[in-house]
Structure 1
Amino acid sequence: MRSQRALGSAWLMRQARGQAWRLALPIGLGLMVTACQVTIAFLFARIIVTLLGFASGGGWNDLAVAGGLMLLSAGLSVGQELAQQSAGEHARARIRAALFDRLLELGPADRRGVGEKASLLVDRVEALDGFFARWLPAMTLALLSPAAIAIIVWRADWVSALVLIAMGLLVPIAMAVTGIGAARESRRQLDVLGRLAGRFVDRLRGLATLVQFNRAEDEARALGEAAEEFRWRTMRVLRVAFLSSAMLELLSAFTLGYLAWRHGALLTGRGPTDPTLSLFCILMVPAFFAPLRAFSAAYHEAMSARGAAAELAPLLEAPPEAGLLLEEVPRRVAVVFNGVELLHAGAAAPALSRLTFALAPGEVLMLVGPSGAGKSSVLRLLMGFVRPTAGRIAINGQDVTRLRPAELRRLSSYVGQRAHIFGGTLRENIALARPEATEAEVLRAAEAARVMSFAADLPQGLDTRVGEGGHGISGGQAQRVALARAFLRDAPLVLLDEPTASLDPGTEAEVIEAIGRLCTGRTAIIATHSAALLGLSGRVLELGDRRLADVG
């Protein structure tokens, strides 16, 4: 766990260095605000001293200048806040895009649930906002602004400057003392939030099943208990954060009280002093502690960000995929498995054992066998989501382990047993396979997959919108949309995993007809239990029960 936290902190600092130029603007604006505050404090000191009768010099001109500087300071503060928000938004967008790419790269090899992945992309990345938008500028300003104010006060009264410096140095010590607890509680809070979000998303996906088995009330109570734990953890984090703020306010109050006593004593005759400079030193206490107060407020967010980074860094800091790149995608491919074995981590038995077969270009192979025999594992190996434990897989005579896994996916089109349809139009769902495709190419793919046979009856044809998960169309129609994606992709290797499962005989016949057109001229491997689908090929490879039979 400690090494994971260290990895997260190191990753955050590398991200901060890449964000440095975007933070220059809010830091510059913050220094300008400090300059305005120093000038305003001096002008108010002149005005108050004049009103009290100690000296003359402060007048309406000083008041007008101070008013103008207050308006300028407010405008600069708004600009600083907007610049910080922009820096935070850019950092989050960049990290979220990199994380999404990484999750897509891992594909089925990543065993996290849908809810946990959603929590990583949303909650964990959002937790980084305070680090980039507030903590980094506040940390820099907490060093520069108090140092500049201390130098200015030193010219007026060196004792007051020493007091400010001493109290300012105690602030990071107080932050460190409370920060140990804040970091621990923030990590626990994020862990609970991740579990709560993951459970909530997963239960929503299975809501129909919960209602069917009368488990909705039980799950609602369980979610309520998880939410209560999250509330309790959040209150613990807030208690630590309030303790940190209280320590800062205590230091500020002590400094203000001491300087008021000291300069009050000087003004009553115990030592020569300029009343304007004395009042100026007292008025500089709020300006001195303002950047430190912002630093303290952002400290809790920095601790939350470090907790989130400990989860994100192992994913994002993983070494890039090794392997060669394809110069171009070949038009035809031959596939050879030679003694291939696959053993998943933690599994007692191998998913595949000494699998051997050869597939010529344009040939179709049917994989049959009981569930768990390894049919889907063959497809995952060819898509690069897993690597063989032993043996050799070759495409066109070249070992596939020499290629980057992403390059293997360029060679293939995949259709599973439950095609996922995204919320949008049918045209958009088909074009997902090749976004740069022309309208004519999308239409040809739709016709080849027999999507047009039902799309023609819809209100807007291919531009008809469907709901997330294919709401509005049947399962067979969703499968034809998935086949249209494969037609549009036009890859030389076709991989199908139970493409006709759960379809009625009439719909299955239409889908099989489309599959036959898709496999024509392409190398294809089809995992299936369907007897009707076996008629597409004379090559059948049976898996399972410690035996392999390649039946012609």
Structure 2
Amino acid sequence: MDSPSATRDGAARALLRRESRALRRQVLLPILLGLGALVVAIAGAWLVARLLAALLGHGGAGWPELAAAAALALLGAGLALAQERAQLAAGEAARARLRDAAFARLLETGPADQTGVGDRASLVVDRVEAMDGYFARWIPAAALAMAGPALVVAAVTWADVGSGVVLAIAGVLYPVAMALTGIGAAQASRRQFEALGRLSGRFLDRMRGLPTLVLFNRQEGEAVALGEAATELRRHTMKVLRVAFLSGTALELLSAGVLACLAWRHRALLGGGADPTAALFSLLLVPAFFAPLRGFAAAYQDRLSAAGAAAALAPLLAEGPVPGLLLEEMPPRVVVTFTDLRLSYDPARPPALDGLSFRASAGETLVLAGPSGAGKSSVLRILMGFARPDAGRVSINGQDAMALQPAELRRLSAYVGQHPHLFRATLRENIRFARPEATPEQVEAAARAAHVLDFAEGLPQGLDTLVGEGGWGLSGGQAQRVALARAFLRDAPLVLLDEPTAHLDPGTESQVIESLQRLCLGRTAIIASHSGARARLGRVLEIEAGRALGTPRAAQG
């Protein structure tokens, strides 16, 4: 059986291979430009060698060769600039593709993903950013490190066989030196990214809970904990940098050795009367031979960083698109039926739903009542596609609801939770979030139906008043009414409400209930509530331990 580390490494390699195939057109361009620049450098070195030989009294090179060498130098600079831009474009394409895929997967899992907010933010931001260098620099550098030296060796061998042999031996020794200095580098890089993820996640989580830390005088203790996490990250980062410095030192020693060997070999030609063009050409191409290898060594850190980042991203991106059917059209009315439904989140704990059965007819409001942990919220999670039952059947209009894609299930419903989240935007923008294509008149109609205009008209800019992150500046009841306005604007045939009147004062609760009754009119509604006013909303079905107790009771007037 493979160890967890081997499994993680295999998943990371599979992710990198898959993305490399998808982006092969983007990474091929900098490789071709790099090869073109190398060919230009070889031709320029030959012309320079002829010019230097002419200065020493050999050959007849003159102004035409000088002009050609200058033109090749300009062409080489242009190719290098184009290669750099192509590398940046490849990195941008890789980041965009990976970030879109990671964000889409996070949206698909939604609340079902129990990963911390900080860890998820680190995945989409830090880990994806670390993948940039793999496609922008490492893949082109690896390809050029194989093709470039071979091209230079062929050119030098054409001019002088012995010099070509010296360069070929250096090319064989370089991978050995890299292997000796890079043992354990991938593990060190993975540990660095794990430490970075822990630090980023902890920092974001503590920033979100900063008022709580201050309230309990824990700010100093958390500062110390963050400092320890930062120290751990610094220690792992220095280990990775040590590998980079060692590989660079090995390359410089090898380059100096090759220059010394070639200078010793051609000492007689340079000091005698023979034509030194081949000797000069061989010496001038030593930097061109090692340039791709230097690029490879410089990009090796990008490969290590990408390996660590891919190991964290692979579990999120491993699964393909969620299978399922698409709705041909939005049904105007829905009937929801649960038949002997069973759902368990953890085998070690009692099931959340244990044979639950009920039916909500078209246009009916069904209130699920019961103590905390009875399974009310699990019913809503299933209907929103955030959980799938272990057994039983969920049908909508007589068809298997689980055959639909989760996103299609969410299209059918409008949801209002116990703690609605408002973004840092205007009230109008927060309401329009439910249906971005809605007209201003439709947004205002939804705000009026949810009694948002009752308090918005007293604000400085009405519906265009800016709201702080998380609804800062609004009371709980006002935020709840904004969430209800979203549901009105969405105009879906199925309404799902989770404790919509919790934590509201009696006056606000009565106003919210009146809006809820208008929202549920003509729609199928399933409401999870333990409020004393639940009987005013619709039929009440008592559930406990994931099972229905008796038959639903009719609504009271």
TM-score range, shorter chain: over 0.9
Higher deviation after alignment, 287-296 or 343-352: 343-352
Q: 1:197 aligns with which of 195, 200, 205?
A: 200
Residue equivalent to 1:381:
382
Question: Are the aligned partners of 1:430 and 1:442 in contact in 2 as well (CA < 8 Å)?
Answer: yes
CA distance in structure 2 between the aligned counterparts of 1:502 and 1:76, rounded to whole angstroms: 66
CA distance in structure 2 between the aligned counterparts of 1:439 and 1:176, rounded to whole angstroms: 64
Q: Secondary structure at the match of 2:471?
A: coil
For the pair 1:448 / 2:452, whether they are aligned, the reply is: no
Question: Are the aligned partners of 1:355 and 1:548 in contact in 2 as well (CA < 8 Å)?
Answer: no
Q: Secondary structure at the match of 1:469?
A: helix
Aligned pair count? 549
For the pair 1:12 / 2:16, whether they are aligned, the reply is: yes
Q: Secondary structure at the match of 2:342?
A: strand
CA distance in structure 2 between the aligned counterparts of 1:39 and 1:471, rounded to whole angstroms: 67
Higher deviation after alignment, 107-116 or 140-149: 140-149
Residue equivalent to 2:185:
182
**Residue type of the alignment partner of 2:493:** P
Question: Are the aligned partners of 1:179 and 1:303 in contact in 2 as well (CA < 8 Å)?
Answer: no
Residue equivalent to 1:524:
525
Residue equivalent to 1:418:
419
Q: Secondary structure at the match of 2:488?
A: helix
Identical columns (%)? 60
Q: 1:144 aligns with which of 144, 147, 167?
A: 147
Q: 1:236 aligns with which of 215, 234, 239?
A: 239
CA distance in structure 2 between the aligned counterparts of 1:333 and 1:83, rounded to whole angstroms: 53
Q: Secondary structure at the match of 1:496?
A: strand
For the pair 1:169 / 2:172, whether they are aligned, the reply is: yes
CA distance in structure 1 between the aligned counterparts of 2:172 and 2:365, rounded to whole angstroms: 74
For the pair 1:2 / 2:6, whether they are aligned, the reply is: yes
Q: 1:245 aligns with which of 240, 243, 248?
A: 248
**Residue type of the alignment partner of 1:91:** A
The offset of 1:155, in angstroms, is 1.1
Instruction: Provide Cα deviations, 1:281-320, integer angstroms capped at 9, x if missing partner.
Output: 0110001110111011111211211221122122212133
Question: Are the aligned partners of 2:367 and 2:526 in contact in 1 as well (CA < 8 Å)?
Answer: yes
Q: Secondary structure at the match of 2:354?
A: strand
Residue equivalent to 1:113:
116
1:44-83 to structure 2, matched below 5 A, reads 44-51=48-55, 53-55=56-58, 57-59=60-62, 62-83=65-86
CA distance in structure 2 between the aligned counterparts of 1:411 and 1:547, rounded to whole angstroms: 25
Question: Are the aligned partners of 1:367 and 1:543 in contact in 2 as well (CA < 8 Å)?
Answer: no
The offset of 1:546, in angstroms, is 6.8
Question: Are the aligned partners of 1:542 and 1:550 in contact in 2 as well (CA < 8 Å)?
Answer: no
The offset of 1:59, in angstroms, is 4.7
CA distance in structure 1 between the aligned counterparts of 2:158 and 2:186, rounded to whole angstroms: 40
The offset of 1:60, in angstroms, is 5.4
The offset of 1:16, in angstroms, is 1.1
Note the aligned Cα RMSD (angstroms).
Answer: 2.0
User: Runs of at least 4 residues of structure 1 off by over 6 A?
Assistant: none
The offset of 1:352, in angstroms, is 1.6
The offset of 1:243, in angstroms, is 0.9
CA distance in structure 2 between the aligned counterparts of 1:479 and 1:370, rounded to whole angstroms: 22
Question: Are the aligned partners of 1:196 and 1:223 in contact in 2 as well (CA < 8 Å)?
Answer: yes
CA distance in structure 1 between the aligned counterparts of 2:250 and 2:58, rounded to whole angstroms: 37
Q: 1:103 aligns with which of 99, 103, 106?
A: 106
The gaps in structure 1 that reach 5 residues or longer are none
Residue equivalent to 1:407:
408
1:263-278 to structure 2, matched below 5 A, reads 263-268=266-271, 274-278=275-279
CA distance in structure 1 between the aligned counterparts of 2:44 and 2:242, rounded to whole angstroms: 35
Residue equivalent to 1:35:
39
Higher deviation after alignment, 317-326 or 173-182: 173-182
Question: Are the aligned partners of 1:543 and 1:549 in contact in 2 as well (CA < 8 Å)?
Answer: no
1:323-342 to structure 2, matched below 5 A, reads 323-342=324-343
Q: Secondary structure at the match of 1:292?
A: helix
- Specify whether residues 520 and 158 from structure 1 end up closer, same or farther in structure 2 by C-alpha distance, changes over 3 A only: same
Question: Are the aligned partners of 2:494 and 2:523 in contact in 1 as well (CA < 8 Å)?
Answer: yes
Question: Are the aligned partners of 1:375 and 1:527 in contact in 2 as well (CA < 8 Å)?
Answer: yes
**Residue type of the alignment partner of 2:395:** A
CA distance in structure 1 between the aligned counterparts of 2:112 and 2:190, rounded to whole angstroms: 26
- Specify whether residues 199 and 250 from structure 1 end up closer, same or farther in structure 2 by C-alpha distance, changes over 3 A only: same
CA distance in structure 2 between the aligned counterparts of 1:195 and 1:71, rounded to whole angstroms: 48
- Specify whether residues 63 and 127 from structure 1 end up closer, same or farther in structure 2 by C-alpha distance, changes over 3 A only: same
- Specify whether residues 255 and 245 from structure 1 end up closer, same or farther in structure 2 by C-alpha distance, changes over 3 A only: same
CA distance in structure 1 between the aligned counterparts of 2:426 and 2:53, rounded to whole angstroms: 73
The offset of 1:13, in angstroms, is 1.5
Question: Are the aligned partners of 1:87 and 1:132 in contact in 2 as well (CA < 8 Å)?
Answer: yes
Residue equivalent to 2:319:
318
**Residue type of the alignment partner of 1:194:** G
For the pair 1:345 / 2:349, whether they are aligned, the reply is: no
CA distance in structure 2 between the aligned counterparts of 1:547 and 1:23, rounded to whole angstroms: 59
Question: Are the aligned partners of 2:459 and 2:465 in contact in 1 as well (CA < 8 Å)?
Answer: yes
CA distance in structure 1 between the aligned counterparts of 2:548 and 2:50, rounded to whole angstroms: 97
- Specify whether residues 339 and 292 from structure 1 end up closer, same or farther in structure 2 by C-alpha distance, changes over 3 A only: same
1:147-162 to structure 2, matched below 5 A, reads 147-162=150-165
TM (norm. structure 1) is: 0.95
Question: Are the aligned partners of 1:182 and 1:241 in contact in 2 as well (CA < 8 Å)?
Answer: no
The offset of 1:96, in angstroms, is 0.4
For the pair 1:482 / 2:483, whether they are aligned, the reply is: yes
Question: Are the aligned partners of 2:501 and 2:531 in contact in 1 as well (CA < 8 Å)?
Answer: yes
Higher deviation after alignment, 60-69 or 292-301: 60-69
**Residue type of the alignment partner of 1:282:** L
Question: Are the aligned partners of 2:133 and 2:303 in contact in 1 as well (CA < 8 Å)?
Answer: yes
The offset of 1:322, in angstroms, is 2.3
- Specify whether residues 409 and 153 from structure 1 end up closer, same or farther in structure 2 by C-alpha distance, changes over 3 A only: same
